[in-house]
Amino acid sequence: MPAERRLYVGPSLRRLRRDLGLTQADMAADLDVSASYIALLERNHRPLSAEVLLRLAQTYKLDMAALTRQGANDDAARLQAVLKDPMFADIDLPSLETADVTTNFPGITEALLRLYTAYREEQLALADRGVAADAPGVGASEASDPVAESRRFLEARRNSFPTLDDAAERLAQAVAAHDGFTPYFKARHNLRVRRLPPEVMVGSTRRLDHHRREILLSDELDNASQTFQLALQLAYLELGADVDAVVAQASFATDSGERLTRRALASYAAAAILMPYTAFARAVEARRYDVEALGRQFGASFEQVAHRLTTLQKPGQERVPFFFIRVDEAGNISKRLDGAGFPFARHGGGCPLWTVHQAFRTPRQLVTQWLELPDGQRFFSIARTVTAGGGGYGKPKVERAIALGCAAEHAGRLIYTQGQSADAQAATPIGVTCRLCHRTECTARSAPPIGRSILPDDIRRTSAPFGFSDS
């Protein structure tokens, strides 16, 4: 008779205990074992016996298969993703060794993952302050800018939060089992959904009325926006603890920075309810990242789908890494997410040669563009305007443009490049921002680059707004 396979689930057990808010002693008492045994299990120093596995399932109403298939595999995928950083490029790191580390040393694995995340946050903070130091009129207050603080938190984690994806996916299944949000709210929270005119909502698009047990929505919202607001309310009601756990991974210099991050994570969870990771990740490949087709499939808006595409970096189930930006007609950035290594301007405006700034000339039409940065990096982007507000004749609308893009090496997987070769395409030469761009012949330049001497124009005037030395 073959020997019984030993089952090590340390990381999963530790994650379960923390999710339940239990100490090792609490779990030991529940399972009628010693606290030291729980500690050994969590460190993978002891295999999990069938008897204890059964007790876990019965005590905490768990799916045994879910417990045993998570853990070291998830952590191994996360660690493998971290080890793809260019700083480790000269080190031979076989995947088998990574699996050994996560299986045998789960504590060290978690420490390394936390350390790398802290390192990424610090690098992003230094980049913010480094650029600010060269910009006139900008002081040390940049370090405590709540918007920059929230963006650093999201960028350090590549705007990917697998724990929220998993929790939202389970919640989406529960909503589907009740045939939609309205019956689910009634059955689970005794809440009724009502749609009311703007004069009754008094400036609100969504409001939770605890006294009357109602969720109120403005009837000016389109269907996709109403559905998103219901998903967002559900995220606040049922995924608060999951969001709190993610926020607790970092310390914030400002209360506003933490609140902005919490809002971003709640919106992330809402999108994950509407577009569950497993189904959405399968659909993007089937539809070749066609944003409009995906929107029809999942009942979401163009912007909601574009935003969701930036989050598909769950370790072991990664899809094309995208960056996303939303700007108004004045060039102000209201949302920026980077999962593709695009060097956004952290201060000042972007490059006017990028079609995201020209999309307002052709409202609602999708524009594609190949981009090339001064260092030779090539990207592919799509841009289109989106509208917020309105909902009736004479109602004020806000027109913005969004761009979604990826590195040229991934562009062939997108339907928008069908029949095109990245190498054969003429790319538009753009810069990060004028102050950091050293292209000497750009006629769209609005400011000279930092660190270059401006040439006199008493004898010769260049076609570019600023003539400057090329060295």
| CATH 3.30.450 fits domain 320-437 | yes
Share of the chain above pLDDT 90, in %: 45
The DSSP secondary-structure symbol of 455 reads P
How much is the pLDDT for 358? Answer: 92
For the chain, the straight-line distance linking the first and the last C-alpha, in angstroms and rounded, comes to: 76
Nearest residue to 348 via CA among 135, 141, 126, 154: 135
How much is the pLDDT for 408? Answer: 93
With cut-offs at 50, 70 and 90, classify the pLDDT of residue 133: very low
Amino acid symbol at 413: R
Lowest mean pLDDT among 209-213, 248-252, 317-321: 248-252
CB 124 within 8 A of CB 156: yes
Is 390's pLDDT higher than 90?
no
**Tell me: the pLDDT tens digits for 111-124?**
787 787 777 766 66
Lowest mean pLDDT among 80-84, 278-282, 379-383, 449-453: 449-453
Is 2's pLDDT higher than 60?
no
- One-character DSSP codes across 215-247: EEEETTS-HHHHHHHHHHHHHHHHSHHHHHHHH
Domain residue spans in the chain? 10-70, 144-313, 320-437
CB 276 within 8 A of CB 169: yes
Lowest mean pLDDT among 52-66, 273-287, 295-309: 52-66
Which CATH code, of 3.30.310.50, 1.10.260.40, 3.20.20.140, 1.25.40.80, is assigned to 10-70? 1.10.260.40
Nearest residue to 220 via CA among 234, 206, 209, 233: 206
**Tell me: the pLDDT tens digits for 176-197?**
999 999 999 999 999 999 999 9
